[in-house]
Structure 1
Amino acid sequence: MTLNLNTAHRNNLSPQSSGNRLLSSLPEEDQGHMQALCELVEVEVGEALFEPGQPIDFVYFPIDALISQLAVADGRMTLEVGAVGREGMIGTSVALGHTLAQVRAVVQRSGQCLRMSAADFCNEFAHLESLQHLLHRYTNTLLAQAIQIAVCSRFHVLEARLARSLLITRDRLQSEKFHMTHEFLAHALGVRRVGVTKAASALQQQKLISYSRGNIEILDAAGLEAVSCRCYELVKDSGSIGMGSVFT
């Protein structure tokens, strides 16, 4: 595990101000109790929070960080099966009894997370009915999205898949501008870098995005959604398997 925490301290955020949508949707008393068990940490781009097969010691609730979840084959080939921002959490599987990580969790955008020990989280999950109901909806949505992304990766062309990935990142970060290298996109999409270069160039030529040295700006969100596969329509916040359904 290569996590390098620049800061770590007990947070004193008040209920409804945690900055994490999942925590903030809990009843105020339960949210305050959960936050009291968390510490505020900084995570940096490229740091691995989990590696497949390693024990999960902590769970994370991103505030302004973005975490990519990568399925790993043969120790080197990867495919992104989910990206988690302030709407969710990393490490939900411990509540289901899986103490070893099933994916590689890599920081895609640096920022802050609330971190709780896996033991404390499991204890809270066992006793808080509100957390149980919330996590059941959340994990069901994560599974549905992972299945859709797997189907997308097998049957849809790279340009459409790249458009879908960029739109999801935009939604998670709530920003039209973000940083993603060709190398990271290749790992996320399970393709060679040359494929990402060609697909990104095609989107740039259509004036849908601006891409320079990993700095991406979405210039035409509607146009980018038009060239994306239908998967984005399904997994976006308001989609049939989007995160919006978790918080209704």
Structure 2
Amino acid sequence: MDCTTSPSYSNRLLDSLPEEDRKRFLADCEIVDLAFGRKLAEPGETISYAFFPIDCLVSLIATLESGGRLEVSMAGNEGMVGFPLMLGAEKSSLQAVVQGAGAALRMSSACFQDHLERSPALERLMKRYLNVLMSQISQSAACAHYHSLEARTARWLLMTHDRTRGDELRITHEFLSGMLGVRRAGVTLAAKALQRRGLIDYQRGRITVHDRPGLEAASCRCYATDRKTYGQMIERLA
């Protein structure tokens, strides 16, 4: 399948490139299917590929020697995995795990860095995306310190909903507690509070979004800030 012309193999970040740059870039990509739970990067390991999700979702996770884990960002159709390559780095500082199965465009790290050198438009776009990513990570750190768990849970569900197809999310309380860096009991209380308000429905291993506007109202302002930053830095280039 020619991913240079098919809209079904689209990534919003790459769609922001000028047409000729986009076609040249996609010509060197391959389409891969990523299964749930697959690890695309590990801290300290060499980065072999850059990934540009089509309809999959990837969590970027900071890990501690004690075994603690905290999601600091996520990448879906709007982004990429392998951002250290933009800076000429060869190793990852974060773990990247597929949270939602699906397809992605994949390019070798050497080829990606070659395109960066040959395409000023790609270099500018990647720098803007890196700025968005840094803003999102900073926002998440502040959000974890200042905002209620219920608001943070709503924000996380909205971010996941944005990057997946459909209203049903495959998420366990154990996984969500790890991503938010809190105890499972706390996530359970937050999810039940959102469910009582009719915003979501939770069953074992699955959360269904019923009231998207209501979920946005329940979230802290960090969610709207993240979307605004992306729109200002990336989408206006398309």
2:178 aligned partner: 187
1:110 aligned partner: 101
- Equivalent position amino acid for 1:13 in 2: C
What's the TM-score once normalised by structure 1's chain length? 0.90
- Equivalent position amino acid for 2:216 in 1: E
After superposition, what is the alpha-carbon deviation per residue over 1:201-245, rounded to whole angstroms, capped at 9, x for unaligned?
A: 111111110011121111112221222111112112xx2x23553
- Long gaps (5+) in structure 1: 1-10
> Counterparts of 2:232 and 2:79 in 1: how far apart (Å)?
11
> Counterparts of 2:106 and 2:210 in 1: how far apart (Å)?
35
Q: Is 2:115 the counterpart of 1:124?
A: yes
Q: Is 2:212 the counterpart of 1:245?
A: no
> Counterparts of 1:220 and 1:245 in 2: how far apart (Å)?
28
SS of equivalent residue, structure 2 residue 46: coil
> Counterparts of 2:66 and 2:130 in 1: how far apart (Å)?
25
1:23 aligned partner: 14
- Equivalent position amino acid for 1:42 in 2: D
CA contact (8 A) 1:208 1:224 kept: yes
- Long gaps (5+) in structure 2: none
2:2 aligned partner: 12
> Counterparts of 1:183 and 1:56 in 2: how far apart (Å)?
28
> Counterparts of 1:66 and 1:72 in 2: how far apart (Å)?
19
SS of equivalent residue, structure 1 residue 106: strand
Structure 1 76/222 Cα, relative in aligned 2: closer, same or farther at 3 Å?
same
- Equivalent position amino acid for 2:102 in 1: G
Pick one of 40, 44, 65 that aligns with 2:35.
44
1:5 aligned partner: none
- Equivalent residues in 2 for 1:62-73, closer than 5 Å: 62-73=53-64
SS of equivalent residue, structure 2 residue 234: helix
Determine what percentage of the aligned residue pairs are the same residue.
44
1:200 aligned partner: 191
Count of residue pairs brought into register by the alignment: 235
Structure 1 101/66 Cα, relative in aligned 2: closer, same or farther at 3 Å?
same
CA contact (8 A) 2:43 2:94 kept: yes
After superposition, what is the alpha-carbon deviation per residue over 1:147-197, rounded to whole angstroms, capped at 9, x for unaligned?
A: 000111112111110000001111122532221111211111011222211
> Counterparts of 2:209 and 2:186 in 1: how far apart (Å)?
20
Q: Is 2:211 the counterpart of 1:223?
A: no
What's the TM-score once normalised by structure 2's chain length? 0.94
CA contact (8 A) 1:159 1:199 kept: yes
SS of equivalent residue, structure 2 residue 163: helix
Q: Is 2:147 the counterpart of 1:156?
A: yes
CA contact (8 A) 2:86 2:127 kept: no
> Counterparts of 2:132 and 2:125 in 1: how far apart (Å)?
11
Structure 1 39/112 Cα, relative in aligned 2: closer, same or farther at 3 Å?
same
> Counterparts of 1:112 and 1:75 in 2: how far apart (Å)?
33
Higher relative contact order (CA 8 A, sep 6+): 2
After superposition, what is the alpha-carbon deviation per residue over 1:69-120, rounded to whole angstroms, capped at 9, x for unaligned?
A: 1111225211111111111110121120221101111101000011100010
> Counterparts of 1:102 and 1:154 in 2: how far apart (Å)?
22
> Counterparts of 1:175 and 1:137 in 2: how far apart (Å)?
28
CA shift at 1:52, angstroms? Answer: 0.9
> Counterparts of 1:165 and 1:35 in 2: how far apart (Å)?
30
